[in-house]
Amino acid sequence: MPGVVRLSFSIERPLMERLEQLVREEAYANRSEYIRDLIRERLVEKQWEHNDEVVGTITLVYNRHARGLTDKLTHTQHHHHEVILASTHIHLDEDVCAEIVVVKGRAKEIQHLAGELKQQKGVLHATLSVSSTGKQLS
Ligand code: NI
């Protein structure tokens, strides 16, 4: 790999054993790849903390019969159309729908949008999955 450096560092034995256990449990091929991913996860957390441009997914599960809810969810998404890349609607059963909204934009606006969608009456569950544009992760 170009530009790869080797480094060594000190770590207490019990902590090293826990690291080895994590590497095995999460089926990583090796320790290096695991540590690289830990660093990337921390960098992505920082991107969200620093209000950088980020990518994420908002998942909503809601009852479609809740009064005015589908209109409110649509209205809110139109209001934030500039950060919405795509959305998918899934009919989970007779009454319950899921909507997966893929977003890209400033972290604060995405968090605001997720909060606005989540607090609507009739939304049964909502999550914001935080990811990255991939910039500055390699
Ligand atoms: Ni539906």
pLDDT at 1: 60
Residue 138 has pLDDT above 90, yes or no: no
Report how far ligand 1's centroid is from the alpha carbon of 69 (Å): 12
Domain boundaries defined on the chain:
13-49, 53-132
CATH of domain 53-132: 3.30.70.1150
Residue pair 82/105 in contact by the 8 Å Cβ criterion:
yes
Question: What digits encode the pLDDT tens for the residues 57-94?
Answer: 999 999 999 999 999 999 999 999 999 999 999 999 99
Ligand 1 centre distance from Cα of residue 99 (Å): 8
Residue 70 CA to ligand 1 centre (angstroms): 9
pTM listed for this prediction: 0.89
